[in-house]
Chain A
Amino acid sequence: MDFVVNLLAMCVPFSVALLLASIGEMFNQRAGVFNLGCEGVMAMGAFIGMLVPFMIGKGGEVANYWNYLGILAAVMVGALLGLFFGLIVVTFRAPQGIAGIGLQMFGVGTAGTLFRHFVGGTQSVVGIPNSPVPLLSKIPVVGDIFFNHNLLVYFAFLFVPVAWYILFKTSWGLKVRAVGTYPRAADSMGINVNKTRYQALMLGGALAALSGAYLSLAQAKMFSQSLIAGRGFIAVALVYFGHWHPVQIMGGALLFSLAQTFQAAIQGLGINFPYEFAVMLPYVLVIVVLSFTSRNQTTSPSALGKPFNREIRT
């Protein structure tokens, strides 16, 4: 029993980075832009997030609120990177797959280089402490699993219904869905297709950077060039997995994290089982589930990956 509770209590905070990044990617894709550069934006977010409190404290301990300044800076850098990506793929209409890989390399590379310049070697930070929810965290089992985490964890899970509301209940969400499915129709209704895509890219970039800052400040409490470790790409896959719907994406993020924590746990138990197979488990799981769920893609944004040009008929 303890094993299971521990597993679940670990899995919830572990899923946050994936959850935030894939909700961001969902907004990109709903607007018709495929952003493979998520990984790079996360790396930049992770670096900026830890750099701000590190510089302020000159490498030592800092007050907790400086961590949030770091997060704010990371989110702003993420939005700027989204804007930059928009310039390339929306205004200049570059092929999105290639541009995304470019952004990924740019982000990971720049973050690593600046890290070596400003920080040097691997350096741990104090990071964001846990904030147990009063009363609720005292509930046996449930309290440990859901209510004994840091503030960003609560934020990420509360953001899922917010994202749903934005997407399906606001005029901006309506515009995002229209420009990602049938931009020509949106255009004929007087909606600025490119502007809407820029906005979605900025939101997506901000969320990806927030996800990165969560990794460096709250989860790993350190930065290294391999900190993101492919989570950006998993986030992209989770968007397909979750059929572009926030709640299903959350389910995917939790499932993947559960597999991840499970494999770490069996290694820890010291069972005689080749660890290579354990490490493979979460990835195999994603491939298997994707191949079963992606057949019915009626909800997919049909203009995904296609630049819009009003004066060219297709």
Chain B
Amino acid sequence: MEHITKRFPGVLACDDISIHVGEGEVLALVGENGAGKTTLMNILMGLYQQDEGRILINGEEVRFRGPEDAFAAGLGMVHQQYMLVPNMTVTENVALGYQQAWKPLKLDLKMVRDRVIEISEHYGLQVNPDAYIWQLSVGEQQRVELVKTLCLGARFLILDEPTSALTPQETDELILLLKRMKDELSIIFISHKLNEVKALSNKVTILRHGKVVFNGETDDYSPQEIAALMTGHEVQLPENKEPDMHGAPALVLKDVCVRSDRGFLALDGLDLTVHEGEIVGLAGVSGNGQRELAEAINGLRSVERGTITFFGVNLANKNPYYVIDHGMGYIPEERNVEGIVPPFAIRENFILKDSDRERFSHLSFLKKKSIEENAKRLRDDFDIRCPGTSTSAGSLSGGNIQKVILAREITRAPKFLIAVYPTRGLDMGAIEFIHRELLKKRREGIGILLVSEELDEIINLSDRIAVIYKGKIQKVLPHAEANRRNLGILMAGVNEDE
């Protein structure tokens, strides 16, 4: 690909990008969210048309009008969001692109099925050709995507953040698989997880703001160097090394019982205290009651028993407005569903919790000017990359959406903050930014409850670490005593004291 340029309304997504991949090579395409990686690959697949530049395959210029032309040239892409029709079988999904099986009056599903079995045996990718997509786990769906792409004759594979939705074990399996496959195929591998890049690729190209900033051999550089090139500055995830603030208790949960959506006790007599000026990390395998805990505190889920004391007020079974009014800040788990209203403009998302306050409205008429000023200020302070404050929040990348939520919650001057998986799926630069902001709030004397699965995140930031298991706090460890090993054991439900 040479000198590719692509503009979207208000954004220059790709700015004069050139990359090349040789036969049997694995190129890692690295960059922050919104750097233009996916756009570039969509151009390569013929899904978007470039405004400038050309694509050469084996020295010949090609022009793809759509993905079918790209398939014919031996290209195949596994998209980050899987392109599988959920209420169809694996075979039917493959048949969608397998035109040899499209007989005039009949779709030859048997032929497709045989092809699926042949490919999955050849590459050791286990899939059941008759399973419906909705029955499969995320890892299985990924295998289906790979099989599908290979069935269509891909000799050149594009993988867009293939590990972002996988569990650690599934990720390891995928990396092994791709290592085997790279003898037969050329691969472009998009990622921002640098250990994977190191493990898999020969060459690395780094994009930033739609431009190529670096090209090189993977082996010559350390993950730190690549991270620095990716974000444009040294990435040093901050650590909480500050003295204890000796704050008063801010949030005290006593014997809290809450039911899950399916009716069983998700929190079963949970006790936890968070002080002012303290970060308490809540570690645990997801699904052990973290979601229900956050929802119960924020008035989104009814509490069956127990008290949630917040600066002397019981929050149990109150409505969200009451909780917000008492100074609670909340960064929810599902940023696209609970954190923002995706079709609303960024500036509107900033005032979701304050639209009826005098600052933004008068007699229920919105004050356009102060809303706009507020949005511009937050955008600049939090480095939110967007075409304008009237852009819909849902069209932003994950990292920028999280910054919108963080900006709203922090600048409302909360007395307390609950952050649920605040950095899930984000790139290094965004993680660093969010960690620094959380530590800044702690220094200001605000208590923070940090829910996370990432042990490094918890260990780096927390003053104390509480391990949750099956709706109970297993143990609370001071920062100095916690390490990956003993946290891992506690998260698995083993309590050595007993």
Closest to B397 in A: A313
Interface residues of A in 266-305 (CB under 8 A from B): 298-299, 302
Could you tell me which residues of chain B, from 51 to 107, have a CB within 8 Å of some CB in chain A?
66-71, 77, 79, 81-88, 92-93, 95-97, 101-103, 105-107
B395, CB-defined interface residue at 8 Å: yes
Are A170 and B106 in contact (CB-based, < 8 A)?
Answer: yes
Which of A171, A189, A298, A302 contacts B67 (CB under 8 A)? A189
Q: Is A197 in the interface zone, CB < 8 Å from B? A: no
Does the CB pair A298–B71 fall under 8 Å?
no
Task: Find the B residue at minimum CB distance from A182.
Answer: B85
Q: Of the candidates B81, B85, B86, B107, which one forms a contact with A169 in the assembled complex, judged by CB atoms under 8 Å apart? A: B107
- The verdict on A188 contacting B79 (CB below 8 Å), with A175-B96, A311-B48 known, is yes
Query: A181 near B87 (CB under 8 angstroms)?
Result: yes
B386 at the interface (CB under 8 A from A): no
Does B8 reach chain A (CB closer than 8 Å)? yes
Choose from A171, A181, A187 the contact partner of B101 (Cβ within 8 Å): A171
Proximity string of chain A (227-254) to chain B, C-beta cutoff 8 Å, 1 when within and 0 when not? 0000000000000000000000000000
Interface pair A299/B87, CB less than 8 Å apart: yes
Evaluate contact between B85 and A171: CB separation under 8 angstroms: no
* Known A188-B67, A189-B67, A313-B395: A298·B107 in contact at CB below 8 Å: no
Min CB–CB distance A310 → chain B (angstroms): 6
Within 8 A of B (CB), among A159-202: 169-171, 173-175, 177-178, 181-182, 184-192
Question: A-facing mask of B296-330, CB < 8 A → 1, else 0?
Answer: 00000000000000000000000000000000000
> Which range holds the interface residue count of chain A?
20 to 34
Instruction: Please give the distance in Å from A175's CB to the nearest CB on chain B.
Output: 7
Evaluate contact between A189 and B96: CB separation under 8 angstroms. yes
Does B107 contact A171, Cβ atoms closer than 8 Å? yes
Q: How far is the CB of A129 from chain B (nearest CB, A)?
A: 33
Q: Which residue on chain A has the smallest CB distance to residue B77? A: A188
Q: Are B394 and A314 in contact (CB under 8 A)?
A: yes
Contacts of A174 in B (CB 8 A): 88, 92, 95-96, 107
Q: Given A171-B95, A190-B97, A314-B394, verify A178-B68 contact (CB < 8 Å).
A: no
- For residue B14, CB closer than 8 A to chain A, the reply is no
Q: Within the complex, what minimum Cβ distance (angstroms) separates B101 from chain A?
A: 7
Kindly provide the distance from the CB of B47 to the nearest chain A CB, expressed in whole angstroms. 6
Q: Tell me which of A169, A178, A310 has the highest count of chain B C-beta atoms within 10 A of its own C-beta.
A: A178
Where the two chains meet, the residues of B that have a C-beta atom closer than 8 Å to any C-beta of A are: 8, 45, 47-48, 66-71, 77, 79, 81-88, 92-93, 95-97, 101-103, 105-107, 394-395
In the complex, the 8 A-B pairs of residues with the closest C-beta atoms, listed nearest first = A190-B68, A171-B102, A185-B83, A189-B97, A190-B67, A188-B83, A189-B96, A171-B107
